[in-house]
Amino acid sequence: MSPLQPWPYPRMCAHRGAGKLAPENTLTAMRVGHAHGYSMVEFDVKLAADNVAFLLHDATLDRTTSGRGRADAMPWRELSRLDAGGWHSAKYAGEMIPTLAAIARWARAHGVFANVEIKPTPGRERETGGAVALDAAALWRDAEVPPLLSSFAEASLEGAREAVPALPRALLLDEMPADWLDRLARLGCVALDADHELLTREIVARTHDNGYRVCCYTPNDPSRVAELVQWGVDTIITDAIDVIPATPP
């Protein structure tokens, strides 16, 4: 049995800021999540054509902005002019895509913890991991608690590790391979971050026994969250910030 890694992050985390109550991955979404009592936010980061780190989930701009095509085809100057809120509702029309720097300034000013998911445009995995890690290290310099970097892309985690080995990393999984513990060790991660449906009490316990923390995404039912808390899941990322309290019983 290995000693558990220190874990300064809260139990509950708001997915993409405010889940689905506001346009995901915008500064407004982060503010809405915080207004519901959440002191940790998760968001997705990729690179613009000129390597500015900005928030967006998809590989293309089509779903959540007024733009079209590859998310990394435009420089930041053009991306900053897009509407990232009108797709959600008229109330948020005109909302801007934020940079990682803007979110970092807001989070640090309000004492909010960050889970930065490195979401590279395909083909830029290692490059994005290294760039986001370097930006995060600079933006959270001297912070008492650094951001947690996570990714499904192992090459991105490798790039982040090479660039800034001191930043904590979590491996995101949407399936549970037999060698998940070996992958965590090889990538130098501090945590597993799995689809909650993959987790069992035994997997949580085994991960802890090997010295790693456990995060999961995105249970939105209070009874399931209560079960995960009982199992000892360390951080639970949810959309249902209006239903599930930031401090579950």
Give the start-to-end residue ranges of the domains of the chain. 12-61+99-238
Give the model's pLDDT for residue 196.
98
Q: Is 15 a catalytic residue?
A: yes
Strand-pairing partners, residue 214, are 192
Give the model's pLDDT for residue 121.
96
- pLDDT, one tens digit per residue, over 89-123 is 999 999 999 999 999 999 999 999 999 999 999 99
- pLDDT, one tens digit per residue, over 26-66 is 999 999 999 999 999 999 999 999 999 999 999 999 999 99
The catalytic residue among 34, 36, 57, 208 is 57
Which contiguous run of DSSP H or E holds residue 148? strand 148-151
- 12-61+99-238: which CATH number, 3.50.50.60, 3.90.1150.10, 1.10.3720.10, 3.20.20.190? 3.20.20.190
Which contiguous run of DSSP H or E holds residue 117? strand 113-118
Which contiguous run of DSSP H or E holds residue 155? helix 154-163
- Give residues with Cβ within 8 angstroms of 237, minimum separation 6: 13, 14, 15, 42, 115, 193, 215, 216, 217, 218
pTM score of the predicted model: 0.98
182: DSSP letter? H
What CA–CA distance (Å, rounded) separates 43 from 57?
Answer: 8
Contact 219, 209 (CB under 8 A): no
The catalytic residue among 15, 88, 196, 208 is 15
